[in-house]
Amino acid sequence: MSTGESTRKDNDALFLNRSDIEMEESYIDWGLIPFPREPGGEEHISGTGGQYRVAEKGRVGGLVNPVFENTQRVLTERRLKLLRELGSKIAVARSTTEYWSIVLAAVAEGELDVPGCVAYGRHPSGDDVLHIVGQLGLDYGHEFFPEKLHLDSLPDHGLEGYLRRVLKGETFVIEGEEVLASFEPRGWGDQLRRAVIVPITPSTTRPPQGVLFLVLSSRRPYDADYVLFIELLTRQIATSLANVQLLEEEIRRAFEIAEADRRKGEELERALAERTRELRASEGFMGRLAEICPVGIFVSDRTGNFSFVNDTWVHHLLMTFLISV
């Protein structure tokens, strides 16, 4: 008002009370453009949109305040960045344990959209038991989240009650559960009130390989964009998990083959050693038998080189020589 100069701000984070969400996270482009209070105190400048009237200093009669909302674009860019970084980080995982560690670390960086998380996964053995593989914003040991979930005997209360529907492929939104107040107020620092439970299903031919309990932002409605982000996040986690599981199975199969070959080699070595002992024992027995045999025994090659003679043969040879003399 005093200088006659316009000002603007892009992607300004403003929190609006315009729905059932208090302090809704929004991003606004706005400007303040002064206009003259009387004719003659103005000048024309060229802009990309045409001619604009700008008041001179001391002749400002009022302000024009254009406002444009960019919330959807800002949130989309932020969420896509999280998905890209998650994809690049989990590409190096070589085991499910390493995989879940990377996933939870990547999700932790998106605390404005996922301020809390508890992840359940199957053991590599493939049993019908889900184990906690990681969590964010909550201490381990909370009674709402048992360490193990036996899928063949899920009760109707607590988390297990929700899982009955979730494991059929549904996504379930919960509100008002007391456990949400136990999560750290990560993100905007507000008390968390809403969460979504989603199954991790790599393919239609395999049963769910886990479950994600994702706490939602207290400052954004769970609208179509939020639903799409959760769906893309879950799908990326499920697809990458399938790749890691296949790699882990191949590594385990190669190890089993190598271990079988090693055991087979050890068995062959033991059999050879046993056969060698048997042959040596047999040679010793035959040698002792030849020594006491009353018949002359000798072993020689075709050139007449003797490799063995027994005492009887030597005695017979001497007697023959003496008689001939």
Say which residues have a Cβ less than 8 Å from residue 288's Cβ, sequence separation at least 6.
none
Residue 241 CB burial class (10 angstroms; 0-12, 13-18, ≥19) = buried
Cα distance between residue 34 and residue 2, in whole Å: 10
Cα distance between residue 124 and residue 97, in whole Å: 10
pLDDT digits (tens, 9 = 90+) for 256-269: 788 888 888 888 88
Q: What confidence score (pLDDT) does residue 45 get?
A: 46
Residue 319 has pLDDT above 80, yes or no: no
Element (H, E) at 113: none
Alpha-carbon distance values, 137 to 73, 162, 169, 210, 325 (Å) = 27, 21, 26, 19, 112
Per the CB < 8 A criterion, the answer to whether 218 and 257 are in contact is no
Residue 91 has pLDDT above 80, yes or no: yes
Which pLDDT band holds residue 93 (cuts at 50, 70, 90)?
A: confident
**Angle at alpha carbon of residue 295, lines to 289 and 297, rounded to 5°:** 70
Computed from CA positions of residues 126, 130, 131, 135, in that sequence, does the dihedral angle turn out positive or negative?
positive
The mean pLDDT value for 99-115 works out to: 93
Cα distance between residue 173 and residue 35, in whole Å: 50
Structure tokens at 281: 């024992």
**Angle at alpha carbon of residue 321, lines to 320 and 325, rounded to 5°:** 115
Residue 196 has pLDDT above 60, yes or no: yes
Residue 25 has pLDDT above 90, yes or no: yes
pTM listed for this prediction:
0.70
In order of start, what are the domains of the chain with their CATH numbers?
Answer: 7-69 (no CATH), 73-251 (3.30.450.40), 293-324 (no CATH)
Say which residues have a Cβ less than 8 Å from residue 12's Cβ, sequence separation at least 6.
27, 28, 29, 30
Say which residues have a Cβ less than 8 Å from residue 285's Cβ, sequence separation at least 6.
none
Q: What confidence score (pLDDT) does residue 197 get?
A: 93
Mean of the per-residue pLDDT values for the chain? 81
